[in-house]
Structure 1
Amino acid sequence: MKKRSLFFTVIMYSIIFLLLFPLVILFVWSFTKNWPWPNIVPKAFGLRAIKYVFSPTSKSLKTLLFSVWLSSVVTIITLFISIPAAKALGLYKFKGKRLFKLLILAPIIVPPVAVSMGIHVTFIRLGLANTFLGVVLMHIIPCIPYGVRILTNVFEIIGESMEMQARVLGANPYKTFFYITLPMISPGLVSAGSLIFIVSFSQYFTTFLIGGGKIVTFFMLMFPYIQSGDRMMASVYSLIFILTSLVLFVVIEKTVKAYYKAENYFYI
């Protein structure tokens, strides 16, 4: 037992180290001017990247808030679409169910370049190119497979016995969904929403193509620095990108927990 406990402890700390070490490197690079090989520590430090990102002229923080808003809209719409689709795939039996499960994964199986080019032509005809709505609709497409897949597994696990009990006791579909189904799938909603947000938040090519340069997201500001090899700027943008996602996940989780605790206290 002691050997097994020691083994799992080593594995756990190894995983933590592998997760934190790249973040430490990013943090150091954020203040590093010069770090030639094979030096263990940087030769020179500076605040060029920090000053630029937080300066009003760079519009980085404004773009970050816009990106959070865009990805939040995409997340909410995608979850609204994913819940009924996942419930149908997770609880009901019908012909072609396996085919539909496969087709839902098509947006992440088919190369996004080919799909985006075709959609772009259609959006130009519909007047959705270079618009906020067009970018939102484009982001929803690769996000739906993640939302539907996660929530389908959730519905398969919880089943529909609790919903049936609520209906037997006289609850209408509205009350059944908001007071029975929604609380039960809330952990799945947090997981699905977090993943959907990341997918939308990190979209570059689709945003650039459909937005036409008029809709600029935070990842679009970060990517050129990564591509050009400016490690100081790329590290700062990467850290802000990661921290924004983590903060949002914590806020969502705390909000959901606080909401359902308040609901339970009210009904008690």
Structure 2
Amino acid sequence: MMGEKMKKTTNIFFDIMMYSIIFLLVFPLLNLVIWSFAKNWPWPYLLPQELGLRGILHLLGPSSRALKNLLFSIYLSMVVTIITLLLSIPAAKALGVYKFRGKEFFKILILAPIIVPPVAVALGIHLTFIRLGLANTFWGVVLVHLIPCLPYGIRILTNVFEIIGESMEMQARVLGATPWQTFTYVTLPLIAPGLVSAGSLVFIVSFSQYFLTFLIGGGRVITFAMMMFPYIQSGDRMMASVYSLVFVAATLVVLILMEKVIKSYYGAKNYFYL
């Protein structure tokens, strides 16, 4: 009897925790939904006194170019994500599998771009990009986005390689597989969950970049985040809420599609998916 009571108490506790977390996640979004239509919402009223569609009409209007910039931002962040993962895989494997002098130092050094404030190095990067002809260009923005994104990609995949090791790869090589076959049919399926996690986080980091995009893009490369932040800073809550909802929705849709594409790909190839 005591065991059943303890079990019920534990279940109730976990249910309360789960519903509390869901509430904390959903409530801000509900607040954004209300503010997206709130034309007049003075204190102390619990509900808006006037409703309007100014934010929605502006977002969907051709003059705002919001949807076009949204698609461009998704494309840019996907390019950054792919390049980041391609660079992170060999670096993470070296840090996670191999032993060499100064390994722990390099693990810490990789985190430097997210420890050092970007303002401290952004101006120097901008001057270098001007000399190289990368300022105010798409590829210049892609390269500068790699700076805050690479630490996340390398760190997550390093943990994955530390867990899986290289025993499966060595067995494949002993059985006659080429390096490319080993990487394609053994390594990639094993690190697929890590790729999904790293790619999701990298996409979010790139998609939400404002300062680096503004500095290196020079106003010529305009992303959705650059369109959203001025409304947040100006205090236009209706417009800021509309843009924020689209920002959150676009991020969730892209991440869900990324996960489904990877799962379906490995499922079609009959790979072992962790």
Q: Same fold (TM over 0.5)?
A: yes
Sort the TM-score into its range (normalised by shorter chain).
Answer: over 0.9
Equivalence for 1:249: 255
1:114 to partner: Cα distance: 1.2
SS of match in other structure, 2:269: helix
SS of match in other structure, 1:33: strand
SS of match in other structure, 1:129: coil
> Can you list the C-alpha shifts for 1:211-238, whole angstroms capped at 9, x where unaligned?
1000000000000000000000000000
1:174 aligns with 2:176: no
Equivalence for 2:216: 210
Equivalence for 1:42: 48
In the alignment, the residues of structure 2 paired with residue 175 and residue 103 of structure 1 have an alpha-carbon distance, to the nearest angstrom, of 32
1:61 aligns with 2:67: yes
Task: Give the counterpart letter for 1:22 in structure 2.
Answer: P
Equivalence for 2:21: 15
Equivalence for 2:159: 153
Q: 1:20-99 residue pairs with structure 2 within 5 A?
A: 20-99=26-105
Among 118, 128, 133, which residue is 1:112 paired with? 118
Could you tell me the TM-score, scaled by structure 2's length? 0.96
1:96 to partner: Cα distance: 0.3
Displacement over 4 Å in runs of 4+: none
Q: 1:228-267 residue pairs with structure 2 within 5 A?
A: 228-264=234-270
SS of match in other structure, 1:195: helix
Could you tell me the TM-score, scaled by structure 1's length? 0.98
Task: Give the counterpart letter for 1:120 in structure 2.
Answer: H
1:165 to partner: Cα distance: 1.0
Task: Give the counterpart letter for 1:65 in structure 2.
Answer: L
How many residue pairs align between the two structures? 265
Q: Which runs of 5+ in 2 are unaligned?
A: 1-6
In the alignment, the residues of structure 2 paired with residue 44 and residue 232 of structure 1 have an alpha-carbon distance, to the nearest angstrom, of 12
1:137 aligns with 2:143: yes
Equivalence for 2:229: 223
1:161 to partner: Cα distance: 1.1
Task: Give the counterpart letter for 1:157 in structure 2.
Answer: I
Equivalence for 2:127: 121
In the alignment, the residues of structure 1 paired with residue 139 and residue 268 of structure 2 have an alpha-carbon distance, to the nearest angstrom, of 35
Among 194, 197, 203, which residue is 1:191 paired with? 197
1:261 to partner: Cα distance: 1.0
Among 2, 14, 17, which residue is 2:8 paired with? 2
1:173 to partner: Cα distance: 0.6
1:132 to partner: Cα distance: 0.6
In the alignment, the residues of structure 2 paired with residue 164 and residue 30 of structure 1 have an alpha-carbon distance, to the nearest angstrom, of 56
